[in-house]
Chain A
Amino acid sequence: MNPANFYALVGIGLFSIGLYALIMNDHLLRKILAINIMGSGVFLVLVALARRAENMPADPVPHAMVITGIVVAVSATALALTLMLRVAAETGQATLPDEGEK
């Protein structure tokens, strides 16, 4: 296994851990963090797979996608955090109401 594949598998691991945390946690801040960890996993996969063979230059297309992706992820996180603050201000708690528990 070459290093690129190893990093890509680590990225998939991060993605799965993030998805697990996203589903299991009620608190919105934890959900936002989980989505960010999932995103980091995807970025790691893209960056790692851009250079699969040792003697080849890196493929610039996935790198460009990651650069755009990181900036979009930061702005989306900022929006999500503001939405969370708004939910907390309106309802007094930072979780979404669960229909089954009402």
Chain B
Amino acid sequence: MSRKNLLQILLLPLLLTLAAGLGYAVLSLPEQPQYLHKLVIENMTESGVSHPVTAVLLNFRGYDTLLEMVVLLLALLAVWSLDMTDSQHKTSHKTAPSLVLDSLTRLLTPVLILVTAYLLWVGAHAPGGAFQAGSVLAASGVLLLLAGWRISDKLTALPLRIILVAGPSVFIIISALTMLLEGQLLKYPTDQAGVFIVILETVATLSIGTTLAALFLGIRPGKPDKDKGREHE
């Protein structure tokens, strides 16, 4: 216990110094953002959308978003490969959802899907876009999972995986296309930039939503049944 107290005494001044240093750095920043801000504003007409955040995410820094889709997929693969099937099955499905949760879920799921579509579309000219829409879609998925709803095993094998990889793979296909058309990675032709962005955002929304909901579930869906099948063989 004394070791912990000693650590505490040493740690507090160190952290206070760190916070003071960071605070000084923040307060000494110049009033105006300098370089990137101007670049974004000057090139907005070429981006295909009118909201600067969406333009940065899917056009100017599309490369970041592509890699982020891969990060999401990687996290899900890591969670699935840890294979927590046994420990989770003990704890889940003991009680049926209450009447309130059940009926609210039925009521909210269509609304959430509608909000997803709206956020996806509005991202072109107002705050919104693939990540926000994907998060709302994931929220509806989490709500459904909490209410005890499970996808039928027919859909969890190939169709689920196709949706999960759709985002990254469409991104990669479009990257390759833009390499051929414009000679540069994710540099859309100026006239069709809006179309490219809508396609990318739609698949990205589906993939992000499904990946996040699958991460919440934490186990590979449909796995136990497959194992049973193997035992019979």
Binding site for B on A (CB under 8 A): 5, 8-9, 12-13, 15-16, 19-20, 23-24, 45, 49-50, 52-53, 56-57, 59-61, 63-64, 67-68, 70-72, 74-76, 78-79, 81-83, 85-86, 89
Q: Is the interface of B mostly helix, strand, loop or mixed?
A: helix
Whether A67 lies near B57 (C-beta < 8 A) is yes
A50 and B33 alpha carbons, distance in the complex (Å): 8
Does B68 sit at the interface, judged by CB under 8 A? yes
- Chain B, residue nearest A79 (CB): B75
Whether B75 lies near A52 (C-beta < 8 A) is no
Does B56 sit at the interface, judged by CB under 8 A? yes
Whether B131 lies near A68 (C-beta < 8 A) is yes
- Chain B, residue nearest A69 (CB): B68
* Across the A-B interface, the 5 shortest Cβ-Cβ residue pairs: A60-B52, A78-B215, A75-B75, A64-B56, A59-B33
Q: Is the interface of A mostly helix, strand, loop or mixed?
A: helix
Whether A24 lies near B11 (C-beta < 8 A) is yes
Query: If A12-B23, A60-B53 touch, does A20 touch B36 (CB 8 Å cutoff)?
Result: no
Picked from A8, A52, A60, the residue with its CB within 8 Å of the CB of B32 is: A52
How many whole Å from A70's CB to the nearest CB in chain B? 7
Residues of B within 8 Å of A24, CB to CB, are 4, 7-8, 11
Picked from A5, A53, A74, the residue with its CB within 8 Å of the CB of B27 is: A5
Q: How large is the interface on B (under 10, 10 to 19, 20 to 34, 35 or more residues)?
A: 35 or more
Picked from B8, B41, B61, B86, the residue with its CB within 8 Å of the CB of A64 is: B61
Binding site for A on B (CB under 8 A): 4, 7-8, 11-12, 15-16, 18-19, 22-23, 26-27, 29, 31-33, 36-37, 40-41, 52-53, 55-57, 61, 64-65, 68, 71-72, 75-76, 78-79, 82, 84, 86-88, 129, 131-132, 134-135, 208, 211-212, 215-216, 218
Q: A9-B23, A16-B18, A89-B84 provided; 8 other pairs, C-beta below 8 A?
A: A49-B29, A53-B31, A59-B37, A61-B37, A70-B135, A71-B134, A75-B72, A89-B86
Whether A67 lies near B11 (C-beta < 8 A) is no
Residues of A within 8 Å of B212, CB to CB, are 71, 74-75, 78
Q: List 29 A-B contacts (CB under 8 A).
A: A5-B27, A8-B26, A9-B27, A15-B19, A16-B15, A16-B16, A16-B19, A19-B18, A20-B15, A56-B33, A59-B33, A60-B53, A60-B56, A64-B57, A64-B61, A67-B131, A68-B131, A70-B131, A70-B135, A71-B72, A71-B208, A72-B68, A78-B79, A78-B212, A78-B218, A82-B78, A85-B84, A85-B87, A85-B88
Residues of A within 8 Å of B79, CB to CB, are 78-79, 82
Residues of A within 8 Å of B12, CB to CB, are 20
Whether A67 lies near B129 (C-beta < 8 A) is yes
Whether B53 lies near A64 (C-beta < 8 A) is yes
